[in-house]
Structure 1
Amino acid sequence: MIKNNLNIAVFAGGCFWCTEAVFQRLEGVYRVISGYTGGSIKNPAYREITTGRTGHAEAIMIEYDSETINYNELLEIFFATHDPTTLNRQGADRGTQYRSAIFYNNENQKELAHSMIEKLNVEGVFDNPIVTEVTALGPFYNAEDYHQDYYNQNSKQGYCQFVINPKLSKLQHTFKSKLKKEI
């Protein structure tokens, strides 16, 4: 049952297969869509995104119930499950399409994102300063069907085993109380 408190959050934290898998597991998250945003090309295809010349990032759109999980909690999980200190890169994935970004859709999200970044920098949570882009959400284009629900359908694939599984282990350890009972 979808409640009236449904909100949208859009994050980019490297490969969208990783971020999708993380946020799908959270209580209060109803749907996670992999897609592209932040660039200038209309209706981009994955083959265009991989060139790094579209300006788009691989991103996820999260539909969530704010009474169960709030935006600040989503931000905490976002920052804990990727490296926000590397510019245009996550692990071996390199290019502007893999940048760390928060695409806000209202002023409250913008303020919360900036406040979280400042707090994490002041507390020295990371060895280097956070380079996460905070920008207004423009058009969001759904990725091709084969990118949707990728980890859940391909968990035995090498990339999933070596890149996504460690993120899910960290999520399980650090945010156990926020996880769904079953996925």
Structure 2
Amino acid sequence: MQIATLGAGCFWCIDTVLRQLKGVEKVVSGFSGGNIKNPAYREVVTGRTGHAEVAQINFDPAVISYEEILEVFWQTHDPTTLNRQGADVGTHYRSIILYHNDQQKAVAEKMKHQLDESGIFDAPIVTEIKPFEAFYPAEDYHQDFYKYNQEQPYCSFVIKPKVNKVKRLFADKLK
């Protein structure tokens, strides 16, 4: 098993998207990339902890590669907007890849460069790529949020379209 830590705006979105993929064994929503130990959600959303909302996943590289996970990551959020995703604004909503080893760093940087060069996005990619240092799980009610709250407007209007996009673009990678 390997670990990946990714932030793509609200962690409810990236958590939901990654849970759908074959080879992903575990997903935990939490915080990483900041300078406060064991922050609570109410602290992170102030923007003063430096943390981003992220999902940390355990995956089987024999079933799904890190590169394939990043393909889904790049396509299910806007990596060109600094410190925001849609109406979600703040440094904790930034696009971030926290790499766990030199291979992950190389793959992330190569893909970012290739995507920028391809012109697939209308603006330069601002995704932060930095070494993983620590991960702090979010409170229980944030875990697998979409599964238990699909009727909430945020889930209907923000998360569900991402779920549908993954089903459309990555059907061969779904559980």
Runs of 4+ in structure 1 off by over 3 angstroms are none
- Show structure 1 runs of 5+ residues with no match: 1-5
Corresponding position: 1:99 with 2:94: yes
Corresponding position: 1:65 with 2:53: no
Q: Please point out which of 118, 134, 144 is paired with 2:113.
A: 118
What's the secondary structure of 1:9's corresponding residue?
A: strand
Distance 2:22 2:100 in 1: 22
Per-residue CA deviations over 1:84-137 (Å, capped at 9, x if unaligned) read 000000010000000000000100000000000010011111000000000000
- Show structure 2 runs of 5+ residues with no match: none
Distance 1:125 1:168 in 2: 21
Identity %: 56
Match of 1:158, as an amino acid? P
Corresponding position: 1:20 with 2:20: no
Match of 1:57, as an amino acid? A
Distance 1:20 1:43 in 2: 20
Shift in Å at residue 156 of structure 1? 1.1
Aligned-pair RMSD on alpha carbons? 0.4
Look up the match of 1:3: none
Q: Please point out which of 137, 155, 165 is paired with 1:170.
A: 165
Distance 2:161 2:10 in 1: 14
Alignment of 1:31-42 (within 5 A): 31-42=26-37
Kindly tell me the number of residue pairs found equivalent between the two proteins: 175
Shift in Å at residue 21 of structure 1? 0.3
Distance 1:131 1:139 in 2: 22
What's the secondary structure of 1:35's corresponding residue?
A: strand
In the superposition, the TM-score normalised over structure 1's length comes to 0.95
What's the secondary structure of 2:7's corresponding residue?
A: strand
Distance 1:177 1:13 in 2: 22
Distance 1:158 1:131 in 2: 28
Distance 1:81 1:24 in 2: 13
